[in-house]
Chain A
Amino acid sequence: MNGIPMEHGLIVAAVLFALGVTGVLIRRDILFILLSLEIMLNAAGLAFVVAGSRWLQPDGQLMFIFILAVAAAEVSLGLALILWMYSWHKTLDVDCASKMRG
């Protein structure tokens, strides 16, 4: 565990997070937006784990378990919403689901 310096781990987490944000913003397919959200969550989890290993504390990994639970709940809800949206709009394009504008 001593081989990888903390900065490298954090940079990887930041890059992952940035990729996730970019995905949320530029993808129009709601399935990919959900995927990108998962990437952002995992980036946050990675940052926790790296920080936990730096100070030799179990808290970072503990937090990752929490994030996994949140991610699981989010995915189940998100997939249900996607199914419902598909049956309603016959598409997965989020820009079409803008009925409540204004």
Chain B
Amino acid sequence: MLEFIWLIVAFPFAGFIILILTGSRLSRRGISVVGTGSVGLAAIIAILTGINFIISPPPGDAYTQPLWTWLAVGGFSPLVSLYLDALSVVMVLVVAIVGFFILLYSAEHMAREAGMRRFFAYMDLFVGSMLVLVMADNLLLLYLGWEGVGLCSYLLIGFWYDDPANIKAANKAFIVTRIGDTAFAIGLLLLFVHLNTLSIQGIIKAAPWQWTEGSNIAFWAALLLLGGAVGKSAQLPLQTWLPDAMAGPTPVSALIHAATMVTAGVYLIARMHVIFQLAPLVQGFVAVIGAATLLLAAGSAIAQWDIKRVLAYSTISQIGYMFLALGVGAWSAAIFHFMTHAFFKALLFLGAGVVIAGLGGEHDIYKMGGLRREMPVTFWTFLIGAASLAALPLITAGFYSKDLILFAAWTSERGSSWLWAAGSIGAFLTGLYAFRLVFLVFFGKAVTPVNDRPGPAITIPLVTLAGLSLMSGFVQMPLVIAPVTVFSDFMSRSLPEMSMLHVSFKVDLFLFLAAALISPAGVFAAWWLYIDASRHVTDFTEKPAGALIHRLSFDGWGFDLLYDAVFVRPFVWAARVNRGDFVDLFYRGVAWFSSRLSLSLARTQSGMVRQYALGVAMGAVIALGLVLVL
């Protein structure tokens, strides 16, 4: 069964090629069948191989499928080869299943778009590239998938390319992630130069032999890989592109900018965990970046009025949790949160898409309201998604994954109570902004009439993802409730377990109760601020200090302004000053000189035979004269 894993990658690419080459002859229905069906087939094979992998694991808990030699230059011959272990099984399952449901949703959501074929082609290309990324056996192939998803992200953010603002957002996303990708590429070269291989398993085996813990070279390798991860996963300081990336269609935001691509950085760090273990300083950075990002992004999410921007900041914040988990060495907790986050955040985006479409393209949550009765299915599924995001205790998947991260932040050898405190404040803010969204959109008085209701192709993904947002958490439970550790047992086949400090049962219980109480507190705060006593918010933002904080928070704490002033404007200025390009002056001089020379020599081409004869005669005289004289 495992030898069929190449089909998981091949089907989405086949869908892409069919849509690009023959899509103009397909009907709209045909386009959505090809686009969704190819990912659906990939998802079926992924589920079958996943079950097969879990029931009868291959020897060594990993399966490698070499396909062909990519290129062979000297001693460097990377293979195109797929690798399946516990980590990639989880990633492949989430990408394929969530991808399929989002494409099914798109079949209805995008049915009236003019560029529908383009949309499905790019989405198939994206799913294929993402699967290459998570199944790559070597870092070069991983980088191919990495760039492939970046390209699709760019193309789909700028999907409605007739609006210059969308193009600007697409360019911003592409350029900012490129900064991280460049660091990643340099990191690859560094690893290759020092370890002479790009095979992931080769690096994992060779690095602890060649480098000592805390050595300089491990530090730089880890830092450069972290640079790539930070760019792709929209973490501090490269987080500014993700809120603007919401310019794309909503299914794109759900699939690329929430569930899968932006978590590629988390996957990269988990995959290369050995390098980070050898560089404890950088691993500390990862935790600090995660903690800072989750707080700042949660703070910004509270102030947004655009429903998609709230969710975008929330994505940044949740990936911050994953980075926090990676930073304290809780590898499987990060992947657990990746999984639950993919389900509930995709669900929230899809629900937001239904609301936006239902209200005729309205993004402003203050112009929504009262949709609870108008859109019951959307309301209940969105509520489940928001509850999972807010991590309401016991019933939601988000609670189990976030609780695991907070638990790890305190008890890990590399953790600290500061990281735990940041995560807990973040959990409060998460409850606040998640339910602010629910209360403003679905409760209160109706402001805008609903003129479009979802059909089955939209409700099936919503209900399924809602189910997953509730159920997927039960595979891993805190010790206080029940000793269920299915997920971390499974992950321990490919990721090391976290080295934990010994904690007493009292601390255990305290951490559990804190996590269980803090998010309902956030939800209650949202209810108090936005339903019960909404004047407090307006009172606060009307005071000068409050207005300043609101302004800062709304603008994402001024990072855009800072980067604009420090990088963009000086660059644009330098480009304008150097429009003539002074380096070109020399080359232009050479060109001018040779064209003048050519013109003056052209004069001798008079067409007068006698002048030519004179030239020949003179030449002969001079040559003879030289022979005589010398």
Contact = CB atoms under 8 A, between A and B. Distances in A.
The answer to whether A and B come from one shared complex is yes
Nearest to B617: A21
A28 B608 CA distance: 10
Q: Contact size class for B?
A: 10 to 19
Interface in B523-548: none
Interface of A: 21, 24-26, 28, 33, 94-95, 97-102
Interface string B600-630: 0011011111100110010000000000000
A56 B586 CA distance: 66
B613 A24 contact: yes
B610 A28 contact: yes
Contact of B607 (A21, A24, A101): A101
A45 to B, nearest CB: 18
Interface of B: 602-603, 605-610, 613-614, 617
7 interchain residue pairs of minimum CB distance: A98-B607, A101-B607, A94-B609, A24-B613, A101-B606, A102-B605, A100-B607
A97 B605 CA distance: 13
A97 B607 CA distance: 7
Q: What is the interface of chain B mostly: helix, strand, loop, or mixed?
A: helix
Contacts of A33: 609-610
Contact of B606 (A21, A26, A28, A98): A98
Contact of A95 (B602, B608, B617): B608
A33 B606 CA distance: 18
Contact of B610 (A95, A100, A101, A102): A95
A97 B366 CA distance: 88
A98 B610 CA distance: 11
Given A24-B610, A25-B610, A101 B605 contact: yes
B612 to A, nearest CB: 10
Contact of A25 (B605, B606, B613): B613
Contacts of A98: 606-609
B511 to A, nearest CB: 91
A49 to B, nearest CB: 22
A96 to B, nearest CB: 10
Nearest to A101: B607
6 contacts: A24-B613, A95-B609, A99-B607, A101-B605, A101-B606, A101-B608
Contacts of B606: 98, 101-102
Contacts of A26: 610
B613 A102 contact: no
A33 B613 CA distance: 11
A101 B606 CA distance: 5
B164 to A, nearest CB: 50
B606 to A, nearest CB: 5
A21 B615 CA distance: 12
Nearest to A26: B610
B602 A102 contact: yes
B610 to A, nearest CB: 6
B604 to A, nearest CB: 10
Given A24-B610, A95-B608, A101-B606, 14 more contacts: A21-B617, A28-B610, A33-B610, A94-B608, A94-B610, A95-B609, A95-B610, A98-B606, A99-B607, A100-B607, A101-B607, A101-B608, A102-B602, A102-B606
Contacts of A95: 608-610
Q: Which of B602, B603, B607 has the most CB of A within 10 A?
A: B607
B198 to A, nearest CB: 60
B616 to A, nearest CB: 9
A13 B471 CA distance: 115
B234 to A, nearest CB: 64
Contacts of B609: 33, 94-95, 97-98
A78 to B, nearest CB: 12
Contacts of B603: 102
Nearest to A30: B609
A21 B614 CA distance: 9
A79 to B, nearest CB: 16
Nearest to A100: B607
Contacts of A25: 610, 613-614, 617
Contacts of A24: 610, 613, 617
Nearest to B599: A102
A102 to B, nearest CB: 5
A31 B607 CA distance: 18
Q: Which of A95, A97, A100 has the most CB of B within 10 A?
A: A95
A24 B613 CA distance: 7
A92 B614 CA distance: 19
A16 to B, nearest CB: 15
Contacts of B613: 24-25
Nearest to B621: A21
A101 B608 CA distance: 8
A25 B611 CA distance: 8
A21 B621 CA distance: 12
A14 B617 CA distance: 14
Contacts of B610: 24-26, 28, 33, 94-95
Contacts of B617: 21, 24-25
A48 to B, nearest CB: 18
Contacts of B607: 97-102
Nearest to A21: B617
Contacts of B614: 25
A39 to B, nearest CB: 14
Nearest to B602: A102
A81 B169 CA distance: 73
A28 B609 CA distance: 9
A98 B611 CA distance: 11
A21 B617 CA distance: 8
A101 B611 CA distance: 12
Q: Which of A21, A28, A97 has the most CB of B within 10 A?
A: A21
A77 to B, nearest CB: 15
